[in-house]
Amino acid sequence: MYDSNGGNGRGGEAFVDLRSDTVTRPTATMRRAMAEAPVGDDVYGEDPTVNDLQKRAAEIFGREAALFVPSGSMGNLIAIKTWTRPGLEVICEQRAHVNQYELASMSALAGCFPRAAFAQDGILTWPLVESLIRAKSPNYSQTGLVTLENTHNMAGGTIYPTRVAEEICERAHERGLPVHLDGARIFNVSVAAGKSVRDLTAKFDSVMFCLSKGLGAPVGSMVVGSKEFIEKAHVHRKMLGGGMRQAGVLAAAGLIALEETPKILHRDHENAKYLAERLAKVPGISIDPAKVVTNILIFNVQQTGKTGAAISEELKRRGVLANATDKFLVRMVTHYDVDRAGIERAIAVMNEICAAERTHA
Ligand code: TLP
C-alpha cells in the first residue's frame, strides 16, 4: 500500500531526504481518500470527515474530545493558551519545540514566559520540574503549566520512561498544575515502548500529536482532552486563524495516517538504528546507537574537522539531505519515503565524505 521512495507523484527522487519526517508525501491510498472525502464547512462543525477524524482520535486516546488543527505548533499554542493566562510561566525542557522552535509564540501570543531547564536526553524528572515551580509570592510570576515532549525531538527521538512521565503528572496535579504533552511523535513512542498511546498519555491533561510527521498525512495535527478543554481550545483555534472550511480533504488523509501508518513505523525505527550503527563506525562521527530508539538520530561531526553545516552541504551535493542542528550536530530522521536502499546510500555518502577528508588531511 505504501509507495516506495519517490513513487507518489511529487518528484525529487534524486535525493534521499532525511531532513525530517515532515517531508513524507501522502500515499496513493491517502490521495484517493482525499479525492473522495465527503466535506462540509468545518467552522459550522459540518464537515463529516473532520468529525470522523476527531471522533476516532478521541477514541484512540480514550478521551472525551479531539480537535483537528492545521499544525503541531498551533496545537501546542492552543493548549498553552487554553491552560494559562498572560503573565504565567510554562515549565519545559530547554530544547523543547515549544521553547525553541515556535517563534516564542507562547510569549508573543499567549503572554506566557517559558521556564526552561536542560535535562539529560530531554527527559525531565519530577525533582527538576519541582525546582522550577514558583513559590506563591507577589514577587514572582507564577507557574501555569508543565509541558513535556515525547519523543523528544532535539534530544534525538528519546522516550520517557512511562513512570517518570506519570510521576510528573501526578505530582504536578497535587500542586494544582495541568500537564500538556507535545506528543508530535507519540506513535513512535508507542511502537518503541510497546504500549498504547492511550496508556502512555492517560495522565496528561491534554495531548497534541501530529498526523503530518511519520504518520504521513500532508497536513494537520490533533489536540485531545476533556470536552470542556476542547470547547475552549476550539475558540482559541478560531482566534488564531485556524478555523478551516472544507478541511475534510485533509482529514481524510489524516484518518488513514492514524489507522494505518502506526503499523509500519517500526521500519523507520529499524532503519534509524541501522543507520546509527553504521554511522558510529565512520571515523570522525560520534553517536551512541544504543540511544537511538525511534526515528531520529543526532550525531556529532566535530572530529571530522568540519561543522554540521559543512557536512550538510557536502551531503546535499551527493544527493542526501540532512540538517545541522548545532555547530557540530547533524540530525537525520527516518520515515516511510526512505527505504533501506536510501539508508545504505546515506551511509555510503557519509563514508565517502569522511574518507575524502582523511585523504586531504
Ligand atoms: N518539528 C520539525 C521542526 O520544526 C523542527 C521537525 O522537522 O522535526 N512538536 C515537535 C516535537 C516537533 O518536532 C514539531 C515539528 C512540532 C511540535 C511542530 O509541528 P508543525 O511543524 O506541524 O508545526
153 CA from centroid of ligand 1 (Å): 8
Q: Would you give the DSSP letter of residue 286? A: B
93 CA from centroid of ligand 1 (Å): 15
Give, for all 361 residues of the chain, the pLDDT tens digit: 333 444 444 444 679 999 999 999 999 999 999 999 999 999 999 999 999 999 999 999 999 999 999 999 999 999 999 999 999 999 999 999 999 999 999 999 999 999 999 999 999 999 999 999 999 999 999 999 999 999 999 999 999 999 999 999 999 999 999 999 999 999 999 999 999 999 999 999 999 999 999 999 999 999 999 999 999 999 999 999 999 999 999 999 999 999 999 999 999 999 999 999 999 999 999 999 999 999 999 999 999 999 999 999 999 999 999 999 999 999 999 999 999 999 999 999 999 998 876 666 5
349 CA from centroid of ligand 1 (Å): 27
The crossing angle, in degrees rounded to 10, of helices 340-360 and 265-279 is 20
- Output the nine-digit C-alpha cell for 30: 491517502
Cβ atoms within 10 Å of 28's Cβ, excluding its own: 13
The two most distant CA atoms of the chain are separated, in Å, by 65
Using omega within 30 degrees of 0 as the cis cutoff, is the peptide bond preceding 261 cis?
A: no
The domains located in the chain, with CATH, are 4-25+263-360 (3.90.1150.10), 28-261 (3.40.640.10)
73 CA from centroid of ligand 1 (Å): 7
CB under 6 Å to ligand 1: residues? Answer: 20, 22, 71-73, 76, 97, 101, 149, 153, 182, 184, 210, 212, 221
Which backbone phi and psi does 333 adopt, to 5 degrees? -125, 125
Distances (CA, A) of 273 to 162, 189, 270, 278, 350: 22, 15, 5, 9, 16
- Give exposure, 300-338, as e/b (b: 16+ Cβ within 10 Å): bbeebebbbeebbebbeeeebbbbbbeebbbbbbbbbbb
98 CA from centroid of ligand 1 (Å): 9
Beta-carbon contacts of residue 316 (< 8 Å; ≥ 6 apart):
none
Hey, which of 210, 296, 325 would you mutate to test ligand 1's pocket, going by the most ligand atoms within 8 Å of its Cβ? 210
Ligand 1 atom with least separation from CA of 22:
7
Cβ atoms within 10 Å of 293's Cβ, excluding its own: 21
